[in-house]
Chains A and B, each alone.
Chain A
Amino acid sequence: MIECTGIAELLGAFRDGELEPDKVAIVARHLAACTQCEMLLSEICELGETLRASAWEPCLDGFAEQVLSRVARLPEPFSRRLRRGLGALGWSWPAAITSASLATALASWLVLMTFGKPNTPSITAAGSNAVTEVRAGESAAQGGLAQALGLSYPGPKDQVVISRLETDRHHVALWSEPEGTTTVIWLPEEPEISE
């Protein structure tokens, strides 16, 4: 026969119905013959009931309804709304895509027509010198190589606009007459190296 110590270790699980069937049978047979272990089981049961009574259980009345109402209040996904809207208009996806492209193209065209060509400076490939957009008429400075690549000055008026300048020379100078309409691009040749 199993000792009471071994049975006592199984009583908690026995009460909770968590024992294997063969062990349930052993514990039950032992309890039938052992008042001490039966009393211990009664104490465990009382302790369990006391603990359960002291635990707070949230009220779940109306819980499901609340969850469903909150789900109903969530914003509908865009794709579903779009599909529903298109369905209401009797449109299909191809028609919708075509219309969206149409609207985008129209908007782009209007922007281009309104603001002119976008000011996108061009950059030359590596190995070349490049001056992006320079409004030479804005330059009030006089000549010299100091007016090097990429200078742009705020000035009173636009005259000459150099939107692209590519050269294989290592230095480029740009200047213009302050009040004139003359602009100079100076491309000094590299000095010849005598061997």
Chain B
Amino acid sequence: MSEKAAVSRASMLLLLILAAPALVAAEPCDKRIEIRVNCVLAADTNRGLDERLRPMGGQLQRLFRYSTYRLVSHQVEEAVCGQGRAFTLPGGRVLHVDPQDVDQNTIKMGLVLFQGDRPVMTTDVKLLNHGLLIIGGSRYEEGMLIISIQASVPTSASPEGGAPAPEPKVKTSPLSPTELVP
């Protein structure tokens, strides 16, 4: 084998090895991910718990200590990895959810919360399947806005390959309590 041929073969092998992690990383994640976004107004106005929030009333009380919880909006969308979804929230806010990876029992997502056109928060988070992430602290009406984000991979509908990107499905309140918490 000539020296030139050896060098060119070694270079090709090197390129392949260097590109391998990128190829692995680029492996498409085609699992459908269901994203639920609820917006809850929490205030100290002693009006109690919205009936539609009853399934998560105990959790809200444990996490926060408000006397009023009212469901403002509820949206559900489906997406696959790399397919971002935008949720319009009360008070001129927009939440971008960008599912990035599904690994065993976790879902990795990028989230950007906008207030108008200004990004208020950007985060990369790995949630447990069916796990809940709550973002709060923004003033809304007479209290605080609590945004709950739940991501889940439907077990019955998780094709292993070749599934087309689903059309976004959006539900908005009013809704029954069972629709809020799976």
Contacts and interface: CB of A to CB of B under 8 A. Distances in A.
B121 A182 contact: no
Contact of B136 (A98, A99, A185): A185
A17 interface: no
Given A95-B3, A98-B7, A101-B14, A189 B133 contact: no
B120 A168 contact: yes
Interface string B109-138: 000000000001111111110111111111
A188 B143 CA distance: 12
Interface in B31-75: 59, 62-64
A187 B125 contact: no
Contacts of B18: 105
Interface range on chain B (Cβ under 8 Å from partner): 35 or more
B60 to A, nearest CB: 10
Interface of A is mostly: mixed
Q: How large is the interface on A (under 10, 10 to 19, 20 to 34, 35 or more residues)?
A: 35 or more
A102 interface: yes
B173 interface: no
Nearest to A164: B124
A175 B125 CA distance: 14
A162 B17 contact: no
B172 interface: no
Interface of A: 90-92, 94-95, 98-99, 101-102, 105-106, 109, 112-113, 137, 143, 159-169, 173, 175, 177, 180-189
